[in-house]
Amino acid sequence: MIGGAMAYDAGGLHLPALLAALVGAMLLQVGTNFCNDYCDWRNGADTPSRKGPVRMTQAGLVSPVAMRQATLAVFLLATAVGVFLIVRGGWPIAVIGVCSILAGVLYSAGRFPLAYLGLGDLFVLTFFGPVATGGTFYVLTLQMSAEVLIAGMAPGLLATAILQVNNIRDREEDSVAGKKTLVVRFGRRLGLGIWAGCVVVAALIPLELLAATAEHRWAALTVLILIPALAMFARLREETAAERLNPLLGQTGVLMLAHSVLFSLGWILG
């Protein structure tokens, strides 16, 4: 959404490429979730005492073989969509596509899964942020700007905030399974600080762009997400029952969507 809005403002919107980027990004996310579902079951991170939303493999609703096959099928579909984007955008899009699939798989698979090493936050920030936004803008306009990469940090930060809710909730289970997230390594307080910092910085990024360019002042309406974020942070800080944190996953996702809508509309309005 943000990459498309900024491309539209730059006069380079290409609707077929925008649709392909959207579908490709969704398939990459689904494939990553399928892979994570299977690998967390295999690695012992998902157990019958899981507090989070139902996982298909762990719950026995989908066999491990079927989940592996589904993961491969979805990534192949993403690759097929990516071929169109590569034809339009060239080798930079090929690099983004390959790296995105590798990050999606290695997030929870392999001998040294990124999420189990405490590197998941960095990769979520990068690929949900400037890579996704900048890649979308590039394939639409066939050019790049620093403004787009800075703006793209906001959705990356908010995606990282979603991850913090997940990691705070699963801290005890992850610790037993050897999944050394930052929350496991350094404690719940750090997770709370990362959540708050990500939301605040994301909300203020358009103000930085406004100060630098003196343009697109309406995009600064993203600061409005801080109003509901205050109550959400209070609940995240005070709630001790892990399963009661699940609604905050979706609510943080709504913050991400609200930010994207406010920024995109504001950027177009000027």
DSSP conformational letter for 131: I
Closest CA to 133 of 114, 118, 113, 152: 152
* Mean predicted confidence (pLDDT) in 4-9: 96
* Mean predicted confidence (pLDDT) in 65-74: 96
* Mean predicted confidence (pLDDT) in 120-141: 96
Of 50-54, 109-113, 240-244, 258-262, give the lowest mean pLDDT range.
Answer: 50-54
Q: In whole angstroms, how large is the CA radius of gyration of the chain?
A: 19
Q: For residue range 83-108, what is the model confidence (pLDDT) as tens digits?
A: 999 999 999 999 999 999 999 999 99
Output the pLDDT for position 100.
Answer: 94
For the chain, helix, strand, coil in percent to 5 are 80, 0, 20
Residue 64, both tokens: 């491990």
Cβ(128)–Cβ(156) below 8 Å: yes
* Mean predicted confidence (pLDDT) in 195-202: 98
Domain ranges of the chain: 2-269
Look up residue 209 and give its amino acid.
Answer: L
Cβ(46)–Cβ(58) below 8 Å: yes
Place of tokens 């950027």: 267
Output the pLDDT for position 167.
Answer: 94
Output the pLDDT for position 154.
Answer: 98
Q: For residue range 146-157, what is the model confidence (pLDDT) as tens digits?
A: 999 999 999 999
Alpha carbon distance 115, 7 (integer Å): 33
Output the pLDDT for position 267.
Answer: 96
- Cα–chain-centroid distance for residue 35? 15
Tell me, yes or no, if the pTM score tops 0.85.
yes
In this model, does residue 270 exceed pLDDT 90?
no
Confidence of residue 13 (pLDDT cuts 50, 70, 90): confident
* Mean predicted confidence (pLDDT) in 120-144: 95
Mean pLDDT score of the chain, rounded to an integer? Answer: 93
